[in-house]
Structure 1
Amino acid sequence: MTARRPLRLALTLALLAPGLTACFEEPSPHEAVRDFLVGWQSGDYEMAARRADADEATVVKALGDASLHLDAASIRFALGTISREGDSAKANFSAEVNLGENNPLWEYDSVLPLRLVDGRWKVHWSPEVVHPDLHEGQRLAVKIDPEPRQPIIDRNGDTLQEDDTQYVAQVVPAELTDPAKVCEELSKITGFAQDRLLSRILSAPPTDEVPLATFGPNKYRELSAKLQAIQGLTIEQVHPPVAPKSPAQIVGRVNAVTPESEQQLGGPQRAGDTVGRDGLQKAYQDQLTGSTETRVVVLDSKSSQQVKELKSWPGRKNAPVRTTLDTAMQHAADLAVAGSQPAALVAVQASTGEIRAIATKGFHQQRDALAGKFPPGTAFSIVTTDALLKADLDTQEKIPCTADRTVGGARFQQVGVTAAAPTFEADFAHGCVTALASLARKVKSDDLLLSAQQFGIGADWTLPLPGHSGHVPTPATDATRAKVIAGTSVQVSPLAMALVAAAVQSGTWRPPVLVSSPALPDVSAEAAATPATPPKPISLDPGRVSTLRTLMRAGVTSGSAKAASVAGSEVYGVASHVGFTDKKQRRQLSWFVGWQGDIAIAAMVETSVPGAAPAVAGSFFGALAP
């Protein structure tokens, strides 16, 4: 048999002992009380048994069984009053039993009866010494009644998980001839601590099914032959609803508890418990994980029937995590990005900032769609035009769209120029990078930075998952201002640009919202910089917003974003195509940023085809059309 888990001690009685000994000598009962309780508390059951009037082996076994049956991490005692009447005495004491991490403290009051035996005080032994409601032929037990893991749901209450398959290895304690051997063999196979497995068996009601370990399909196939060879161990196939639906990388995966995750969670977690591996499942682990009702009961040793309940704890409440995602809109987004090229699409409700859909193919939904750092190209002209309008830019001013232009030493090239001299409105609608960059001397650096700030670029989001709201380098020269206006030196995520479009549509920039309840979880180390409160909405200048809406409508009706148009519905937006070098590799991105109705989106496709992102947007908006 493996050694029991060592007790964590706080020997209150040991500190009292010198004073007690100095004041009382035999035949006073105090020394007997001290030795018995200190021995019991410290796990030196032989010391305690020598101070009892029963067979020492009987007392040692009874005290040890009580600790095992409670799966106690520690037992502490506080001594009360001692009264003596002739050859008998009574010692009042209180007990505090730690039922293990993640479980409550059980506190109760009791009395030690004592009597003089051959001139020495002895504890008059009976099962009532362990607890006043424990009698001959009975034992203590801890019943654990776990609640299932709560779901992650969309804004309408529909679950974002479907049934998964898991395999639970379990035992019925009363049917085991050698529990220690079962635990030894299972420990070798799984890595779970042998003493913890044994304590779980010994503390449970003997006729209950006790789950010891849970496996996913792949792990079970690997271990099934070894598991089935353990006598007394049975395998039950269960189907908990934990497999993530779309957007799967945002919802996150759930694993059965492993020896490694048991340590990370502070254990002891019980088999059948689940741990979020990533996404919202990980971020909201404490809110989602099954709460557990714990009860200390007295059982009949022969029948295993419950005689009495001594104490119960309802367990920590858990609740579903309600997201702002919309399952129908998510389906439309998934279909829109299902082409042959890597693509990402984020949709938000413009009037609230709530995220409705996050779809990707070839990109990661969290690392790229929420937290990616990509150049937006001339799609960023939405933001920089706000600064230019503050400088009294006339959108009907003729600004040539040339094939090549150098601004302050920075070179810009435009593909597909026309012979006619277009207005700024046409340059904006077609995303003419040379025309836009040429305006670097017309705008102040501080105004560019202020406009970026008002559109939420660089804001501190309070999402439960890491995100990137964007970065604009300080534009100190003509060249750096031109690069910001052209969107080549700026870094944004698709979510950040969807919020830019939402700000133009609604007239107010709002921070993103992904989860409506419960409150934000404790931030992880990965997102340690997340602030406690979200940034406040920022109202934009109504006149400039009106002009931007006109420009973005032209982007769809006559500009490079035509492919986003939907018959019978007004779509607003701007498109861009930008090349950049990432890890010494040349990459190209097609962007669309705009809205239809109250739904604002950013679509990004990695391709050499400039109109790819508007086509993705058109597919998405078309699916939403009534």
Structure 2
Amino acid sequence: MRRLLAAALTVILLASGCAPGGSDGESPAPQGSTTGGATPSGELPAADSVLADVAAALTAKDVSKLKMAASNAAAQQELETIFAGMDGIYPTFEPGELAYEGEGAVGTLKVTFALGEDGWTYSTPAAFTLRADEWVLEWSPTLVHPELTNSTRLRFTQEEARRGPINDNTGLALVEERALFEVGLDKARITEAEWPGAATQLATLLGIDAEAYKAKVLAGGPRAFVIAKTLPQVEIPAAVADVPGRHVREIRAVLGPSSSFAAPILGTVGEPTAEMIEASDGKLTTNDRVGRSGLQLRYDDKLRGVPMIRIDLVQRNAAEGESPAPSPMEPRTLFLQDESVSEGIDLSMDRDLQAKAEEVLKAQPGLASLVVVNLADGGLLAAAQSPSGGTYPHATFGKFAPGSTFKVVSSLAMMRHGLTPSSTVHCPATLAIDTYTFGNYTGYSQTGAITLTDAFKYSCNTAFVAGADTVTSEQLHAAAGSLGVGTDYDAGFTSNFGTVQPGNRIDRAASMIGQGQVTMSPLGMAAVAASVGAGRTVVPWLVKGHEASPTAAPLTAAEAQNLQAMMKATVDSGTAQSLKGVMIGAKTGTAQWGPTGNQQTHAWMIAYNDKVAVSAFVEVGDSGGTTAAPLISALFG
């Protein structure tokens, strides 16, 4: 629940006591008009433009050029003092109504702070005196807030709501906000002679480099707090209490099982960027912590909650040479937004499987990934990548040529055009399509008239390239859709389900073997394997309540059975025999990429067993069977 506390604001516009809305029965004048008393006669100049100048100057934080009775320099200094404790939070001022009385005028200013969920708006008085036919501002702190005096100022305080957790598929927090403690030396609390010994003693207790920490302490300022280590309270040695000058300060941090755990997916939390602040309409400041990437960014509004924001009226510090006030005033709250309880999100991710996948990939050179999907409900159980991938979500958002793993899609399209797994297809050593000649991989020997299953399990390129003469681009795209890919779904997380947009005849032929204009993410190819293994179209999901529904024609039971038979044959006697006993069905793949004359090879393996489907991808590898398959064996073996 949020609540706003604002002091009652009473602005007496007329010394005579006339109502600011005009005489009885009259409607209030519009903003910026003259009201009450008499409008300026021919002997009095209008003050509207002067009031507008005051509003503009206050909004610009510069009153040094306004015509006023007080010293401009003193007024400017006071304005800066009033806002010194506001952490850069500053309002806008707009001119309101005006009233005239005798040789004076009183206007109102509309003050608006764009902060919190609903902002804060109130009115303040602006008094003017006529001197030498010019209106002169009577400077007062009440221009900023009616309760301000020359001995008070404003103070801004913000406390974040506890950030909501991101939970695994058992409901336990993968990432949550926890208390940590910065342990270090407060140099101001001990003598300079004690600094080296205390630094060495503390470093030894905390198990850090004593010489390095001592040098850090000696290099800091004489009143610096020099942090030695940040750790949970239970890990702080009791003997730390005996170190002279030691100081322990609590902080809050958003932590996962490790700093790298599923980082490309879960994302990070930090200070908002300038662009985020500008787009927030005042809801964000540099005092906030927000999601910067991944799920933390996508679901930031839900996870972050609403912070406590308070503006207090507090006593000013005594100026140099002045004595402090004999009885300091208690701070008085003028505005309060209560902290709200943030919410968590629940994932399909399996903590142990994700951790094991990351461990398998930890020593993998170059970019590689493992993606695992639950056959029962399509939930994404793991999406891991090797350290060289950094924090970019290659596993779920990468765009790579899928090579022969895409023959699962091509086979479905060819079967929809009349073929069956036992149909005879032709596998020549080479096949010319217009001006381009396609061939099989080096060492391939199963040529001639063979079944579609044999072409699939041995991965004959030319048999599938020939299919481009009967399978249209639209039919290939439709087959991909039935296997969960080729359509841009919003699945609730950073995901790419690939593109299947072949163009001319050569490109369509290349697309049949996962080259050309076909691109896929490891997530997308895991969806293909999951659709076959589950016997239905699967679009993987990660965040509960944000599942995407397939829009393509569904995969039929008969189609699934045929594809399952072909993928099983690939494990039993084809190019994926290394996965026997680990997976039921699989498909290998290689894809050439890079500039002509300096091409490299992607290595793929997609597979499924009775519980999960998996995609293994190595950006620079040898073949799916020799480079990608061992990753699956290590994960499930």
Specify the alignment match of 1:147 in structure 2. Answer: 161
Q: How far 1:558 moved relative to its partner? A: 2.6
Q: Distance in 2 between matches of 1:341 and 1:82?
A: 77
d(CA) in 2 for partners of 1:257, 1:394: 56
Contact 1:378 1:487 in 2 (8 A): yes
C-alpha distance after superposition, 1:284-324 (max 9, x if no partner): 56665574322222224457663421221347886545444
Q: Indicate yes or no: 2:113 matched with 1:98.
A: yes
**Cα deviation digits, residues 241-270 of structure 1 (max 9, x gap):** 357432223333455578999889899976
CA contact (8 A) 1:376 1:491 kept: yes
Counterpart of 2:319? none
Residue 82 of structure 2 aligns with which residue? 66
The answer (yes or no) to whether the contact 1:13–1:78 under 8 Å persists in 2 is no
Give the CA deviation at 1:159.
2.3
- How far is the alpha carbon of 1:279 from its aligned partner? 3.9
Kept in 2: contact 1:367–1:467 (CA 8 A): no
**CA shift for structure 1 position 572:** 2.1
Equivalence for 2:93: 76
CA contact (8 A) 2:427 2:446 kept: yes
- Counting only pairs closer than 5 Å after superposition, residues 274-289 of structure 1 correspond to structure 2 as 274=289, 278-283=293-298
Q: Hey, what does 1:372 align to over in structure 2?
A: 398
Contact 1:287 1:319 in 2 (8 A): yes
Give deviations 1:537-577, integer Å, cap 9, x for gaps.
6412322122112222222223222222336xx62222234
Query: 1-side partners of 2:309 and 2:381: how far apart?
Result: 39
1:456 shift after superposition:
4.2
- Letter of the 1:139 partner, please give it: R
Q: What TM-score do you get using the length of structure 1 for normalisation?
A: 0.67
Other-structure match for 1:297: 312
* Aligned 8 A contact 1:344 1:363 in 2: no
Q: Which amino acid aligns with 1:357?
A: A
Q: How does 1:563-578 map to 2 (within 5 A)?
A: 563-566=578-581, 571-578=584-591
Confirm or deny that 1:394 pairs with 2:420: yes
The aligned counterpart of 2:40 is 23
Task: Tell me: CA distance 1:251–1:57, structure 2 relative to 1, closer, same or farther (3 Å).
Answer: closer
Identity of aligned residues (%): 22
Matched residue SS, 2:253: coil
1:473 corresponds in structure 2 to 502
Say which is worse superposed, 342-351 or 578-587, in terms of deviation.
Answer: 578-587
Distance in 1 between residues matched to 2:597 and 2:177, nearest whole Å: 41
RMSD after superposition? 5.3
* Contact kept in structure 2, 1:150 and 1:288, CA below 8 Å: yes
Which position in structure 1 is the counterpart of 2:603?
590
Instruction: Check if 1:108 corresponds to 2:119.
Output: no
2:615 is matched with: 602
Question: Paired residue for 2:534?
Answer: 506
Q: Distance in 2 between matches of 1:68 and 1:379?
A: 63
CA distance in 1, matches of 2:330, 2:476: 74
How far the C-alpha of 1:355 sits from its partner, in A, is: 2.4
Tell me how far apart the structure 2 counterparts of residues 226 and 275 of structure 1 sit (CA, whole Å). Answer: 35
Q: Which moved more, 1:443-452 or 1:232-241?
A: 232-241
Q: Tell me, in whole angstroms, the C-alpha distance in 1 between the residues paired with 2:537 and 2:129.
A: 80
Opposite residue 598 of structure 2, the aligned amino acid is Q
User: C-alpha deviations, 1:491-528, integer Å up to 9, x for none?
Assistant: 322221111112223343343434447x79xxxxxxxx
TM-score normalised to structure 2 length: 0.66
The equivalent of 2:489 in structure 1 is 461
Q: 1:312 aligns with which of 320, 323, 336?
A: 336
Residues 399-421 of structure 1: CA deviation (Å, up to 9, x unaligned): 5666x232546232252536997
Structure 1 pair 228–516 and aligned structure 2 pair: CA distance change class (3 A) = farther
Asked whether the 8 Å contact 2:254–2:269 carries over to 1, the reply is no
Name the structure with the higher helix share: 1
Give the drift of 1:330: 0.8
Alpha-carbon distance in 1 for matches of 2:216, 2:268:
23
In the alignment, the residues of structure 2 paired with residue 58 and residue 416 of structure 1 have an alpha-carbon distance, to the nearest angstrom, of: 89
Aligned match of 1:496: 524
Aligned match for 2:266, one of 241, 244, 251: 251
What is the CA-CA distance between 1:433 and the residue it aligns to?
3.0
Give 1:469 deviation, angstroms: 1.0
Contact kept, 8 Å, 2:36 with 2:99, in 1: the verdict is: no
Task: Provide Cα deviations, 1:449-501, integer angstroms capped at 9, x if missing partner.
Answer: 4323433443113254363513342363xx65543333343432222111111
Aligned in 2, Cα 1:363/1:461: closer, same or farther, shift over 3 Å?
A: farther
- Change in CA separation of 1:383 and 1:284 when aligned onto 2, cut-off 3 Å: same
CA–CA distance in structure 1, aligned partners of residues 475 and 396 of structure 2: 26
Please state how far the C-alpha of 1:162 moved relative to its aligned partner.
9.0
Q: Secondary structure at the match of 1:509?
A: coil
Task: Give the Cα–Cα distance (whole angstroms) in 2 for the partners of residues 127 and 338 of structure 1.
Answer: 62
Label 1:111 to 1:566 Cα distance change in 2 as closer, same or farther (>3 A). same
SS of the equivalent of 2:581 reads: coil
Q: CA deviation at 1:39?
A: 4.0
Conserved? CA contact 2:50–2:135, under 8 Å: no
Is 1:398–1:422's contact at 8 Å kept on the other side of the alignment? yes
3-state SS in 2 of match to 1:382: helix
**Letter in structure 2 aligned against 1:326:** D
The match for 1:333 is: 357
Shift of 1:240: 2.1
Residue 33 of structure 1 and its aligned partner are, at CA, apart by 10
Give the counterpart letter for 1:465 in structure 2: T
Hey, what's the Cα distance between the residues in 1 that align with 2:38 and 2:52? 15
Counterparts of 1:224 and 1:262, CA distance in 2: 35
Task: Measure, in 2, the Cα distance between the counterparts of 1:449 and 1:313.
Answer: 52
Distance change in 2, residues 1:497/1:18 (3 Å): same
Residues 486 and 13 from structure 1, CA distance in 2 versus in 1: closer, same or farther, beyond 3 angstroms? closer
| 2:174 paired residue among 144, 156, 159 | 159
Structure 1 residues 485, 347: CA separation in 2 closer, same or farther (over 3 Å shift)?
same
- The 1-side partners of 2:377 and 2:632 are apart by 21
- Quick one: structure 1 residues 548 and 287, their matched pair in 2 at CA, closer, same or farther if it must change by over 3 Å? same
**Using a 3 Å threshold, how does the CA distance of structure 1 residues 34 and 467 change in structure 2: closer, same or farther?**
same
* Residue 149 of structure 1, CA deviation: 5.1
1:355 and 2:384 correspond: no
Letter in 2 for 1:76: F
- Asked if structure 2 preserves the Cα contact closer than 8 Å seen for 1:366 and 1:467, the reply is no
Contact 2:603/2:617 (<8 A) preserved: yes
One-letter amino acid matched to 1:140: L
Determine helix, strand or coil for the equivalent of 1:240.
strand
Residues of 1 paired with 2:365 and 2:50: CA distance?
77
Deviations 1:170-208 (A, max 9, x none): x9xxxxxxxxxxxxxxxxxxxxxxxxxxxxxxxxxxxxx
Q: Do the aligned partners of 1:508 and 1:537 also contact (CA within 8 Å) in 2?
A: no
**SS in structure 2 at match of 1:469:** coil
Distance 2:104 2:351 in 1: 71
- Report the AA paired with residue 329 of structure 1: L
From the superposition, tell whether residues 120 and 346 of structure 1 become closer, same or farther in structure 2 (CA, over 3 Å). closer
Gaps of 5+ in 1: 1-11, 172-219, 521-532
| Higher mean displacement: 332-341 or 306-315 | 332-341
Q: 1:346 matched to which residue of 2?
A: 371
How far the C-alpha of 1:336 sits from its partner, in A, is 3.8
Q: Tell me, yes or no, if the aligned pair for 2:571 and 2:577 is still in contact at 8 Å.
A: yes
Counterpart Cα distance in 1 of 2:134 and 2:604: 91
- Paired residues in the alignment total 535
After superposition, residues 258-277 of structure 1 pair within 5 angstroms as: 273-274=288-289
Amino acid paired to 2:614: I
- Which residue of structure 2 lines up, in the alignment, with residue 619 of structure 1? 634
Q: Which residue of 2 aligns with 1:483?
A: 510
